Amino acid sequence: MRKIQLFCVPLLLAMSPSNSSSSSAGGSPTGYLLTANKGDQSLGIIDPTVGKQLAEVPEGGTTGHEVVASPDGRLAYVPIYGNSGVGKPGTNGQNMVVIDIASQKVVGNVDFGHGVRPHCPVFNPKTGMLYVTTEIDQTISVIDPKTLKIIDTVPTGSEESHMLAISKDGRWGYTANVGPGTVSVLDLHAKKVVKIIPISKTTQRISISPDDKWVFTSDQTKPQLAVIDAHLQEVKNWVELPGLGYGTAPTSDGRWLVVAVPTVNKVSIIDLKTLKVVHSIDVPKAPQEVLVRRDNKVAYVSCDSSHQVAAINLEDYSVTLIDAGKGTDGLAWAAAH
CB 53 within 8 A of CB 322: yes
Q: What distances in angstroms separate CA 96 from CA 102, 133, 165, 205, one per listed residue?
A: 19, 11, 19, 20
List, run by run, the mean pLDDT of 10-residue segments along the chain (337 residues).
Answer: 32 34 46 96 96 96 97 97 96 98 97 98 98 98 98 98 98 98 98 98 98 98 98 98 98 97 98 97 98 96 96 97 97 92
- The pTM of this model reads 0.91
CA–CA distance, 5 with 30 (Å, rounded to integer): 20
Query: Which residue in 146, 118, 119, 143 sits closest to 130, CA to CA?
Result: 143
3-state secondary structure at position 17: helix
Q: What is the CA radius of gyration of the chain?
A: 18
Torsion of CA 311, 314, 316, 318, to 10 degrees: 10
pLDDT at position 30:
84
CA–CA distance, 34 with 321 (Å, rounded to integer): 15
pLDDT at position 117:
98
148 residue type, one letter: L
Residue 70 Cα to chain centre, angstroms: 14
Q: For CA atoms 248, 249, 251, 252, give the dihedral sign.
A: positive
pLDDT at position 337:
74
pLDDT at position 140:
98
CB 201 within 8 A of CB 212: no
How many CB atoms within 10 Å of residue 46?
Answer: 25
CA–CA distance, 212 with 235 (Å, rounded to integer): 15
Query: Which residue in 302, 335, 305 sits closest to 321, CA to CA?
Result: 302
CB 218 within 8 A of CB 194: no
Q: For the chain, give the longest Cα–Cα distance.
A: 51
pLDDT at position 29:
64
pLDDT at position 132:
98
pLDDT at position 22:
33
The reply to whether omega before 147 is within 30° of 0 (cis) is no
Where do the domains of the chain lie, and which CATH numbers do they carry? 17-335 (2.130.10.10)
The reply to whether omega before 63 is within 30° of 0 (cis) is yes
CB 259 within 8 A of CB 287: no
Strand partners, 331: 35
